[in-house]
Chains A and B, each alone.
Chain A
């Protein structure tokens, strides 16, 4: 295609006016700019890092000497629990979201993420969840059963305060934030890359965050299910984890670690991506074995789902069952080692420049190797039996998490700080920063290996003299404070450099990826013209003449300046597909997050008034948010690639992809609910089902109703596509009526049941599973009604948004029906087959 330079002042002024967020409070609360949101994520995560660090400092002070009682046992319980919750949930993952939010559109050659408003919502929910969990401090009841919150300790009978309620509800809210963020990343990756940015040209951090986002879609629902069970047990007396009622504590452990281990990779894979992308810049050569590293990232993410049981080696599960997970836990070392060898080879074959960022990355390789090796050791079940719940495990997990998360994060900040702020961080202070942190982390955690070997258990608030633990503990405490000084030096460096740092320029490191092609800091629109990419290192093509196919064009005539626009492309090869009209700044994400946080307080107290207020607020915000697009169905925009549809319909549109992702994560949620049903059914000592096999008449009728309704919804959709809006309306009205009858019959069945959710674990599961399905039917009905009122009218006027909504709501309705078929088979039919 022809390359015409159109980056004229007129164009950039116009883009600036279009994309700029207004200053002041309004701008702060309404912005959807991915760069602002990314920086907010980074700053907020660092605030939580400091809070979690202070908690650790208090614990290390307590453990420095034998017999210390500066903290009581209860205070210590709350501190170690909140330290884990803060670092794992409120720092380690969100800080990586910060990088990805900031960098993705710049690296991928786009003007924003696929769903800018979801992006804002994700951040506000994260902040809301953090504030909600920490508000427990105001009443002195912070979570106190550890970051993995094992039952039965966490059940109401043993932990009667509000502590665990803050944990359960707060993490549910955080789960919503994580999920919408993940949907956004996935759709952004597959739909909003610059032309030519094919799958094989993605930076590794993109591979890391993409893998993490897919992992989140399928792992977070396990935690959500576990937390909902816990909340119901504690608040309403259900029996999910109560053995006397047919439940089982191990259900929590299974669900938690089905989430927990993939989450470990969620918080390390993007961080490893930071190193894979930044290290080559300082080695003056491309990453060695790019394909290996990209695929090792994906393989690690998948294997991460098959190792959850290694957290449960000591729970009495039979040896053969354990061995499958021990094997997988060792095999996962293979893709991890691929990364390590790739980084070492990149340094070996390159010409390293020993900047502070490079030092942090080199430090990361050392710490990752140490943490990885102790991980392989604990993957052997007999070894784990000796050391489980000792400080050896604490040493291992901190080497892994500090090594693979904190060090790359700091390296990434030294690397991208100039892009974000236009100023360089101070290198001299940076070296002090690195060495204090590197020495500190080793002095802190290395002795914990010996402490574990000597039998010091985790989570004890003090210990007696004469056990041989005092010296190592004192050394560890000295290391902790040294490490804290290192973090403080980093904060000082940031503070000073923001005002006095050397001016950076667009590409101070002579790096090769797209984000360095725009000014530092980038303008609100990122790229004045959308680039056309020809290689993995668009800015190194002069140095790497044999890489890529052709030459990247940074200044093209793809201006897209009729409002907030960017280009939508195909998933694999990034061929231009649509012109995407992006939303303006809006307060709805902020207000929705506030409403959901209010709902959380309503659930905590519990208070019906607050809950209703939260739900009503959320409904109002959702309706305000979903005001339909005004572009006609057949609207097109002229581009250098020809006339492209605006937004597009079906799989061309981001909304369709978003709905697919939502359905995937919802399907995973129901899969975990049904897995819990079968698990408790297989180990419960109570009759299961309690009253014998359930009666089939009403449920069978309901099944027929839903299947028929799906047929009508599909008929309506297809008729609408052919322009027969009358048939579309009729199809959707019949679907609505059948859905309402379904809910009424479900209510009748509930009324006739001879048990309740609190009768036993079967009752708890039956009502929870069918209740959640019913809630999904209700949501589907609301969507159908809204589409019927708005969409079909818009369809009659041949306008785009209506059609899009018709396709999406029909897909959702089919999904609800498929879920019902699974529920009906599992809960109703199978008990008759026994």
Chain B
């Protein structure tokens, strides 16, 4: 194995680390832990609630007891609005999660030096690791929220 001063994409790496072990999160006081956790799991929580609420409403109104219906018990439009509103709220919460992750990232991106790409590559700097991780999870779950909400437009509610 050979050492190099740039990573696989040619981005500059962190300066060489020497000496006794230092604290793994020098920037830990620059952002509240709650903000970090919300950035990590806010979008995921929003998606979970969206999926459960939308599923319960969509399935129960189209299949209330033992026979499936052609039209939801509450009507097509009200069901559509419920799914859209729940999805919109989930999207807003998910976006707030992403925003929290971005704020955390902005505040801690230089935690242990090196280019931003370096944090993705090695994860070095615990605070910015959690921040960038929040960006990754928020992006994945915002996509999931959008796909979930798109069903209201693309799929008929009942059989």
User: Distance (Å) between the CB of B78 and the closest chain A CB?
Assistant: 13
Task: Provide the bound-state CA to CA distance between A290 and B136, in Å.
Answer: 12
- A306 to B64, alpha carbons, bound, how many Å? 22
Q: Is A349 an interface residue (CB 8 A)?
A: yes
Instruction: Tally A residues with Cβ within 8 Å of B.
Output: 70
List chain A residues, Cβ under 8 A from B121.
286, 288-291
Asked if B150 is an interface residue, CB under 8 A from chain A, the answer is: yes
**Cβ 8 A contact of A318, one of B62, B65, B125, B147:** B62
In whole Å, how far is B23's beta carbon from the nearest beta carbon of chain A?
A: 7
The answer to whether A551 has its CB under 8 Å from any CB of chain B is: yes
From B125, B133, B152, name the one whose CB has the most chain A CB atoms within 10 angstroms: B133
Tell me how far the C-beta of B125 lies from the nearest C-beta in chain A, rounded to whole angstroms: 7
The A541-555 residues at the B interface (CB cut-off 8 A) are 541, 543-553
Contact among B18, B140, B156 with A299 in the assembled complex (CB-CB below 8 Å): B140
Which residues of B have CB within 8 Å of A103? none
Q: Which of A125-156 contact B (CB under 8 A)?
A: none
Digitize A321-360: 1 where CB-to-B-CB distance is under 8 Å, 0 elsewhere. Answer: 1011101101100110000000001000100000000000
Stretch binding the partner chain, chosen from A16-24, A196-204, A623-631: A196-204
Contact A325 B140 (CB under 8 A): no
Name the contact of B68 in the complex, choosing from A285, A296, A316, A549 (C-beta under 8 A). Answer: A316
The answer to whether A319 touches B157, judged by C-beta atoms less than 8 angstroms apart, is yes
B13 to chain A, nearest CB (A): 4
Contacts of A549 in B (CB 8 A): 17, 21-24, 26, 112, 124
Q: Is the CB of A291 within 8 A of B129?
A: yes
Q: Which segment, of A469-477, A532-540, A582-590, A818-826, faces chain B? A: A532-540
- Min Cβ gap B56→A in Å is 8
Q: Is the CB of A544 within 8 A of B126?
A: no
Across the interface, do B19 and A321 meet the contact criterion of CB distance under 8 Å?
Answer: no
Chain B residues with Cβ under 8 A from A335's Cβ?
Answer: 140
Q: Are A324 and B66 in contact (CB under 8 A)?
A: no
A294 contacts the other chain (CB 8 A): yes
| B59 touches A (CB below 8 Å) | yes
**A546→B120 CA distance, assembly (Å):** 15
**B152, A545: Cβ atoms under 8 Å?**
no
Contacts of A285 in B (CB 8 A): 1
| Shortest distance from the beta carbon of A358 to any chain B beta carbon, whole Å | 16
Q: State A543–B2 Cα separation when bound (angstroms).
A: 6
Whether B151 lies near A199 (C-beta < 8 A) is no
Q: Which of B17, B65, B140, B141 contacts A551 (CB 8 A)?
A: B17
Contacts of B126 in A (CB 8 A): 198-200, 572-573
For chain A, residues 175 to 196, give those with C-beta under 8 angstroms from any C-beta of chain B.
195-196
* A198 adjacent to B24 (CB under 8 Å): yes
- Measured CB to CB, the residues of B under 8 A from A are 1-3, 5, 8, 13-26, 28, 33, 44, 47-48, 51, 54-55, 58-60, 62-66, 68, 79, 83, 112, 114, 119-126, 129-130, 132-133, 136-137, 140-141, 143-144, 147-148, 150-152, 154-159
A binding-site residues for B, Cβ under 8 Å: 1, 3, 195-196, 198-201, 284-286, 288-292, 294-296, 298-299, 302-303, 305-306, 309, 316-321, 323-325, 327-328, 330-331, 334-335, 345, 349, 510, 532-536, 540-541, 543-553, 572-575, 682-685
For this complex, 24 residue pairs linking A to B, each with C-beta atoms less than 8 Å apart, are A3-B20, A195-B21, A196-B21, A199-B129, A291-B122, A292-B120, A296-B140, A299-B44, A299-B141, A302-B48, A316-B68, A321-B59, A331-B143, A534-B20, A544-B1, A546-B13, A547-B122, A549-B21, A549-B23, A550-B18, A551-B21, A553-B21, A573-B25, A685-B65
Given contacts A294-B123, A536-B122, A547-B124, 4 further A-B contacts (CB under 8 A): A291-B121, A325-B51, A540-B1, A552-B21
* Closest CB pairs A-B (n = 9): A200-B129, A198-B24, A318-B62, A321-B59, A534-B21, A323-B151, A327-B147, A200-B123, A543-B1
